[in-house]
Structure 1
Amino acid sequence: MAAVLALLTAALPLGLPVPAAAQALPKAATGKPGDKLLVEADELIYDNDKNTVTARGNAELHYGPRTLQADRVRYDRATSRVFAEGNVRLTDQDGAVVTGERMELTDDFRNGFIDSLRIQQTVEKKGEVVRTRFSAPRAERVDGEQTSFDYGTYTACEPCKDHPEKPPLWQVRAAKIIHNNETHTVSFEESTLELAGIPVAYLPYFEAADPTVKRKSGFLTPRFISSTALGTGAAVPYFFNLAPNYDLTLSPAFVSRQGVLGQAEFRHRLETGFYNLRVSGIFQTTPSAFLPGPLGAGDRDFRGSIESRGRFYINDRWRTGWDVVGVTDKWFLDNYRIRNQNITTDYFREAVSTAYLIGQGDRSWFEARGYYFKGLSSFDWQKEQPVVAPVIDYDKRINGPGFLGGEVRFEGNLTSLTREATDFQGLPRTGSYLFSPSFNGVSYPLYETCTIFNNSSCLIRGLAGTDTRASAQVSWRRTFIDPLGQAITPFAYLRADTFFVNPSLSGYQNALAPTIANIGEGSSGRVMPALGIDYRYPFVSDFGRLGVHTIEPIAQIIARPSETRIGRLPNEDAQSLVFDDTSLFEWDKFSGYDRVEGGVRTNLGGQYSVVTPAGWYANVLFGESIQLAGVNSFRRGDLANVGFDSGLESRRSDFVGRFQLSPNQNISLISRARFDHNDFSVNRFETGITARFAPFLPLSVSAFYSYYEAQPLLGFSHRREGITASATYNITPNWFVTGSALIDLTHYLDTRDVYADALNAYLANPVGVAPIYQNPGRFYLSGMSFGGGYQDECTTVSLNYIVSPIATAIGVRERNQTVLLRVELKTLGEADLRQNVGTATTADGIAAIR
């Protein structure tokens, strides 16, 4: 740069000011080939005696990717130094902005000293803009890659707009801060973490990645552990950035009572997808902290798990992948608090492993899967869990042939599953009881156990052995709309099923089940043709500001032969039957392929809707289903009694209805119900509302109420009734409170001593009875959470108290109470502190009170 400026000033008089809105200069001697300096200023002053050039008034110097701005810039050609004063601002190639009152730099802006330094760096991380700030009374810039701050501060918080002199919510103050742009690290020496200007923690030295780093080897935030069974300890993860597309994380956890829990996770991203592998294991030093089998893993020294997930895109139409979970015992993941997204945890815990291949066309779909289910609840028996492989589904839609038109659809399914032991479920007893435990003067009914099958007291959820079924269906439909607006849709379908059954006739509770249930070995078939027509006649009126109103009567009739072999074929995938507004006009109301609806049936109903220019929407639907001829498929129960207590088992079904109201896009109310066709009593009712009141009120709420009448033939001897609700209120744009509740209005009995005695009797003689868990007519707060927190651009702090239901080993309902504190200082780290309070009797196989 010095040589270039000398050439430009050689012919100029001493001290002559030259207006210079913008001057482009050739590359400087110290620059890279092709780099040029562009100087913009109100004027340039050249002093040949002092060998200096001064840019004064809105001076702006561009050198390669760097830009220097100041009120006044003086360049000393002899020392190749640049002196900038007044509102100095240096922008680096990575977008970082360095400001100060005075800067002394080399002519390429890479080295020098800065007074009253402030740096703001803006990066986008996980779709979020993060700004970090450094400040110091004096700093040194070295090679453009490293900046050393003396007595500096670091934060990711925005300064207060009204009082910028106030300290930020949090900052790190250190005797020396070194920011290395080459290694992308920030190191702190003699540092103190301050919250609102108050020192709260001291560290003699620590190092962290700067915000631009997405992947870098180093220690991650430790996780602290405390429980009676495990003792106290901490997990200290270390991340290895092995390559841009794969990494390894080792997370040894040291716990005082059990030893070292080893955990490792390997992640690998390829051109067409990714996979990961996580393993955990421990040789326990105190196994007796856990219950002995079959209620816990107290008889195991080694315990562990293996988990893997993969996603691969073969091309733009095909993809494949897997989710796998394997554990040495059903309590391991919960005992050692290892999170896994493939575990369902409502009232029952289950780990689902699957592998799949999926293809999708413009109007077609193919999916092949295999499943393995691992029961994680204390009362699960793994031999009753099926291995399902394969499950193959194919769906293809094409335009109908010319003379028919409309749409033709092909559907196919192949399912094969195997289990070791027949899965029975006992029905509640209605006669005299072998024993009837009493609590506070109230007696409770008991479940029959089904080690010996009895049609009147047992359901078969699944047979032991191998069950394979192949199904195919072709259907056609076409809609005609006449000049009056009537919509007539004729349709037809042909369904064929083939079953291959190889039941297991040996082993515990297997021998008699297929014989008593009339399930034969070998192959059998079923064919179901159908013809039908759907009629709708919408009457539409536009009332201007009052909206568009539509009244639409709907009638549907389907003619089919009766369903055959009811109860003599396995039913694995059609055990869930819900008759409501969503299934009223379904051609086949069964949920899966193992059952098929037969007989002549008509579905009748109507709906009314209104849409206003102001955004109001309302809809009402009401109807019923009537069996006209043939065998009612829902009147004859199969092995699982599917169809009974459904509202469809009589010739005239229950009435179903729906009411939906949305005054605007922020509020939605929906209710649906099923009414008894004889006395109009409510057999099923669900209602709920979701609402966001912003900007008028910073509140969002949701609440749902559900009521289901008793279905004794399906195993539910009493009604089920409950409420779930949640709400979040933003006190300010940063502070919020939140809460949720799950209320069981039929209550689950919490009589530990009574049911412990019942369980002991049952374990001693499992051919007897097992306790039922429900106690009708009581209000019970089954689960809840409440808490609050603070969130802004740099900090998230939340504190929650959580009460959740868990199913204990002895079958009683216990509540797990947890206090969860989460703190995140963006760019610096985050920590979750979780502490269980109260007791958890034997919920997770632990023998002690936590």
Structure 2
Amino acid sequence: MLPRAPASGPEESPRCLTPLAAERLRAALLCLLALGASCARAQSESEPAPALRPSEALAEPISAEARRQAPTFLFGDGLHGQIDGESVLEGDAMLRRVDTVIRAERLRYDRATNTVRAEGDVRLNRYGNVYRGPELELHLDDGSGFFTQPSFSFLKNGGYGEAARAEFIDDHRSQVHDVRYSTCRRNGPEWLPDWVLRAARIDIDNEAEEGRAHGGVLEFKGVPILPVPGFAFPLGDQRRSGFLPPTLDLDSVGGFTYAQPYYLNLAPNYDATLTPTLMSRRGVAVGGEFRYLAPVASGQVLGNLMPSDRLRGRDRWGLSTQHQATLAAGTGLSLNLNRVSDADYWRDFTRGIPALTPRLLPADGRLSWSQGAWSAQWRSLKWQTLQTPDAPIIPPYDRLPQLTARYGLSPSRGWQYTLDADYSRFRADATRTLQPNAERSVLSAQIGYTWLTPGSFLTPTLRTNHTHYAFDAPLVDGRTRATRSLPTFSLDGGLIFERDTAYFGRAVRQTLEPRALYVYTPYRDQQALPVYDTAAKDFNLDSIFSDNPYVGSDRIADENLLTLGLVSRLYDADNGGELVRLGLAQRLRFSSQKVTLPGETPIDERLSDILVGGSLQWSPRWRADAGLQFNPKTGRSLRTTLGARYSPGNYRVLSAGYRLKNGISEQLDMGWQWPLNDLWNDPGLDLGPGRGLGAGRWYSVGRLNFSVMEHKLVDAILGFEYDAGCWIGRVVFDRLQSGAASSSSRIMFQLELVGFSRLGSNPLKTLRDNIPRYQYLREPAPPPSRFSNYD
């Protein structure tokens, strides 16, 4: 998977945002901004902020002229001096003005020069950011001065730091020498953080919104892990070109992988990332990403090239691009192109193909238009099917092109009209599909009327479908053209009964909702017609109330049946939340269904399988769902799904599932995120979503998928997270089944320096995608108000 220029959150975003490299470099030098008490830019308090925004540490909500005109207040146990000259305060001395509070043992204020000199345990508070040191001199008009041996803490991002000396050149420029910065808290007089960024000197220019650090190094547990000898970083929201944190991976197929992305800030609305990658077993590759964002268009291009793959002995490449554009009012264009170099790509790069089905890669272009009740679309779709000899698949049909148009009015009550037209030209490899390619035209019209009352509804509907085929090769019966016309009549109605009652001492509202659907479609012989885009609908409590068991236009089943269903629900009487839902449904056939898909047999049973389903969430902690397809004649379940989830609080979730398709598959699934400290009765403090349970916590995360029929583990994710407060360590093992007899495994290590950067592999997206209700231990939070640390 090609890396993106990271955004401010845990997950990468396709928007053009400040890259993590810039955030990392800026954050290292927050001390510089904080100490430059008079040199910060105007900034709105209400503006949402990412995890690190150093340029806001000394936000200045008033102009420089207003600051000069603002009154100055002096307090102290003792005061002496001249009215228009120098005033000396001793004993709990304090100077207060609109944007600054200075406390010290001794404070000298020169009114003529508007200069303050503070000595002895000097404490400077600006908008909740606090700085301490033995000596401060500050010219309040132009911001020049110095602070010796300052330490500092920031309200908005929780950062801490120390410096040997800070020199304020003017309102915009300053220098800080021998800097240490970390987000690890100070727990005593001696500050020994687990991780720290050191820099020999930092030069800040707030007017140019740029900072430069010299002689930097990142240390963890006293060990230097990342040298940063010299770099520039932005002080505002603007992006800067530069290196992003490297990614390290250990994969059973590719071996050890090192990827070093470089970010290119090309313009405010487009950027790029280049990622050279070294794979110990395969060789060298280079990846790239280009993104753009415009008022009427947006998109991205992802590419990867490996000139010579040592495992396969050939060049490998992958390409994915998505674009969306608004051409005019109601007119839009979208492109989705995915291509790879060879059929083995999906096996070798199991996590690198940006498609839902890795063996089917679409190249899809759409031009759409809509205006009121009218809409139309032109579409061109061509698939790349990755065939392998041990597991061949029937390729889907390309649509070159597909043209659709629709007119529809569908109010909730009264008359409803729809008219649909579809022309598609289907193309595929006939030696694999074993049927000819064709052009298909479909015209469908529907009219209905809905009577709706608070306790009932009734909707009769009449639909007609006319389909015409023109084949490239003759059918078995010699025809090169075929036409099918079919009407469908349906009558759908139901009742809703309600009553207020109580169960287990809880006030609820109970409903009883019987429903009946009658459908009639006459029989037309369709067995000779090829199948291009049609498949059977999943048989469930929703699809059973439809007038055709197939999706697509190649099969319209002959129906003369009545579907009966009953649903009962319990709603919380106070908040209206659904607590319990129970439902069942069954079809009663008055005649056999003769129209089927290839390989299916006609349905002669008068009574269908019974569908039973329900959900239970009596408590917010627990949720359970169940579904059953039961054959009353054989007394056996054809399909069963069971699921349960227990989540008593943040960072605590257990989920389990069981899925059975009789004779086809049987699987068990379990996922979890749980603090291991609970095992020794140490639950910690629930600080809320995205804040963790406190420092010194271990968490177990994982998901297991087991095939009961094959007696083997299919996919697995196992990992541990340790939250030390100012840093988080993660180790995650990921096993992915890529074929009937092949799989790939990798181990991901990550060190997250909270509020600063992440080093190593990134398992967060894997955990979020695979573990239901997984929560990040650190989410970006809105900055606290400066008044929360008011002095």
TM-score over 0.5 for the pair: yes
- Deviation, 1:708, is 1.0
Q: Which has the higher contact order (CA 8 A, sep 6+)?
A: 2
Q: Does residue 571 of structure 1 match 2:531?
A: yes
1:721 pairs with 2:666 = yes
Match of 2:144 among 107, 111, 115: 111
CA–CA distance in 1 between the matches of 2:144 and 2:423?
A: 70
* CA distance, structure 1, for counterparts of residue 645 and residue 458 of structure 2: 35
2:118 aligns with 84
2:274 is the alignment partner of 1:253: no
Take 1:692 and 1:396, find their aligned partners in 2: how far apart are those partners? Answer: 44
AA in 1 matched with 2:118: A
Shift of 1:363: 7.3
Matched with 2:518 is 557
Cα pair distance change 1:207/1:794, threshold 3 Å: farther
Match of 2:384 among 364, 374, 396: 374
In structure 2, the CA distance between the partners of 1:364 and 1:351, relative to structure 1 (3 Å rule), is same
Structure-2 residue corresponding to 1:502 = 471
SS at match of 2:72: strand
Partner of 1:406: 414
Aligned match of 1:75 in 85, 109, 121? 109
- Judge conservation of contact 2:247–2:762 (CA < 8 Å) in 1: no
Runs (5+) with no aligned partner, structure 1: 1-29, 124-129, 291-297, 425-459, 506-513, 711-718, 748-778, 836-850
Cα distance in 1 for partners of 2:545, 2:530 equals 26
**Structure 1 stretch 733-742 or stretch 333-342: which is displaced more?**
333-342
For the structure 1 residues 603 and 343, does the alpha-carbon distance in structure 2 shift closer, same or farther, using more than 3 Å as the test?
closer
Structure 1 CA distance for aligned equivalents of residues 372 and 724 of structure 2: 44
Query: Which whole-Å CA distance do the structure 1 matches of 2:622 and 2:463 have between them?
Result: 43
Change (3 A) 1:680 1:223: same
- Of residues 277, 294, 299, the one that matches 1:270 is 294
Larger Rg: 1
Measured in 2, the distance between the counterparts of 1:657 and 1:231 equals 48
Q: Which residue of 1 aligns with 2:709?
A: 746
CA–CA separation in structure 2 for the residues paired with 1:709 and 1:660: 22
Distance 1:488 1:324, change over 3 A: closer
Give the TM-score, by structure 1 length. Answer: 0.70
Aligned partner (choices 687, 697, 700) of residue 642 of structure 2: 687
1:153 has 2:180 as partner: yes
Q: What's the CA shift string for 1:409-443, capped at 9, x where partnerless?
A: 4152525243342375xxxxxxxxxxxxxxxxxxx
Q: Deviations over 1:251-275 (max 9, x none)?
A: 2335577664233322222122322
Q: CA deviation at 1:475?
A: 3.0
Greater CA drift, 41-50 or 313-322: 41-50
1:351 maps to a residue whose letter is L
Query: Aligned-pair distance for 1:585?
Result: 1.9
Name the amino acid aligned to 1:784.
Answer: A
Conservation of the 8 A alpha-carbon contact between 2:109 and 2:116: yes
How much does 1:466 deviate?
3.1
Identity fraction in percent: 17
Matched, 1:582 2:542: yes
- Which residue of 213, 219, 226 corresponds with 1:193? 219
Q: Is the 8 A contact 1:575 1:642 kept in 2?
A: no
1:172 to 179, 197, 201: 197
Gap change, CA 1:177 and 1:340, over 3 Å in 2: farther
Q: Secondary structure at the match of 1:547?
A: strand
Residue 588 (structure 2) aligns with: 626
Correspondent of 1:474 among 446, 455, 469: 446
Counterpart residue number, 1:465: 437
Q: State the match for 1:294 in structure 2.
A: none
Mapped contact 2:350–2:738 kept (Cα < 8 A): no
Q: Judge which range, 413-422 or 798-807, deviates more.
A: 413-422
My pick for the range that moved more, 72-81 or 214-223, is: 72-81
1:307 shift after superposition? 2.3
Structure-2 separation of matches of 1:782 and 1:340: 20
Structure 1 position 58, deviation (Å): 3.8
Tell me which amino acid in the other structure corresponds to 2:266: L
Is the deviation greater in 244-253 or in 737-746?
244-253
For 1:699, the equivalent position in structure 2 comes to 652
CA gap of 1:73–1:312, structure 2 versus 1, over 3 A, is farther
Match of 2:623 in 1: 668
Partner amino acid for 1:677?
P
Deviation at residue 737 of structure 1 after TM alignment: 1.0
Q: Is the 8 A contact 1:118 1:134 kept in 2?
A: yes
The change in CA–CA distance for 1:194 and 1:32 in structure 2 (over 3 A counts) is same
Structure-1 residue corresponding to 2:41 = none
**8 Å CA contact 1:476, 1:491 repeated in 2:** yes
Alignment correspondent of 1:36? 69
Following superposition, the deviation at residue 818 of structure 1 comes to: 1.8
| CA–CA distance in structure 1, aligned partners of residues 138 and 321 of structure 2 | 53
- 2:404 corresponds to which residue? 392
Superposed displacement of residue 655, structure 1: 1.3
State whether residues 671 and 704 of structure 2, in contact with CA within 8 Å, keep that contact through their aligned partners in structure 1: yes
Give the Cα separation in 1 of the matches to 2:510 and 2:675: 38
* CA 1:420–1:383: 2 relative to 1, 3 Å: farther
> Are residues 132 and 215 of structure 1, via their aligned partners in 2, closer, same or farther at CA, if it must alter by over 3 Å?
farther
- The Cα of 1:607 is off from its aligned counterpart by 2.5
Matched, 1:418 2:445: no
| Residue of structure 1 aligned with 2:95, choices 59, 64, 69 | 59
C-alpha distance after superposition, 1:169-213 (max 9, x if no partner): 422234445555445445252635133xx3343637243636754
Q: 1:592 to 1:834 in 2, by over 3 A?
A: same
Quick check: 1:686–1:705 contact (8 Å CA) kept in 2?
Answer: yes
- The alpha-carbon distance between structure 1 residues 255 and 688, as it changes in their structure 2 partners (threshold 3 A), is closer
- Alignment partners' CA distance in 1, 2:548 and 2:377: 22
Contact 2:246/2:760 (8 A) holds in 1 = no
Separation (CA, whole Å) in 2 of partners of 1:334 and 1:164: 56
Q: Is the 8 A contact 2:252 2:744 kept in 1?
A: no
> Structure 2: how far apart are the matches of 1:560 and 1:219?
65
Provide the residue aligned with 1:22 in structure 2.
none
Deviations 1:314-344 (A, max 9, x none): 5785543222122222334764677343353
Matched, 1:136 2:64: no
Q: SS at 1:41's partner residue? A: strand
CA distance in 2, matches of 1:137, 1:832: 32
Separation in 2, partners of 1:557, 1:547: 33
Quote the Cα distance in structure 2 between the aligned partners of 1:266 and 1:784.
33
1:601 is aligned to: 561
* 1:660/1:107 CA distance change after superposition, 3 Å: closer
Is 2:572–2:579's contact at 8 Å kept on the other side of the alignment? yes
Amino acid aligned to 2:124: R
Higher mean C-alpha displacement, 350-359 vs 650-659: 350-359
**What amino acid is the match of 1:730?**
P
Summarize the Cα distance change of 1:336–1:625 in structure 2 as closer, same or farther, 3 Å threshold. closer
For the structure 1 residues 41 and 690, does the alpha-carbon distance in structure 2 shift closer, same or farther, using more than 3 Å as the test? Answer: same
Q: Distance in 2 between matches of 1:212 and 1:596?
A: 61
Q: Which residue of 2 aligns with 1:802?
A: 734
SS across alignment from 1:584: helix
Letter in 2 for 1:621: G
Task: Give per-residue Cα distances to partners, 1:601-629, cap 9 Å, x unaligned.
Answer: 11123223333447672222222112214
- Residue 579 and residue 253 in structure 1: after superposition, are their counterparts in 2 closer, same or farther (change >3 A)? closer
Contact 1:350 1:377 in 2 (8 A): no
Q: Deviations over 1:351-407 (max 9, x none)?
A: 23323345677877766543332234634779934322326364632459xxxx624
Structure-2 change in CA distance of 1:289 and 1:88 (3 Å): same
- Taking a change above 3 Å as real, the CA distance of residues 638 and 496 of structure 1, as seen in their structure-2 partners, is same
Task: Give the aligned partner of residue 3 of structure 2.
Answer: none
- AA paired with 2:181? Y
Aligned-pair CA distance for 1:576? 3.1
The one of 244, 263, 273 equivalent to 1:239 is 263
Contact 1:175 1:191 in 2 (8 A): no
1:818-837 aligned at under 5 Å gives the runs 818-826=746-754, 828-833=756-761
Q: 2:542 is matched by which residue type in structure 1?
A: T
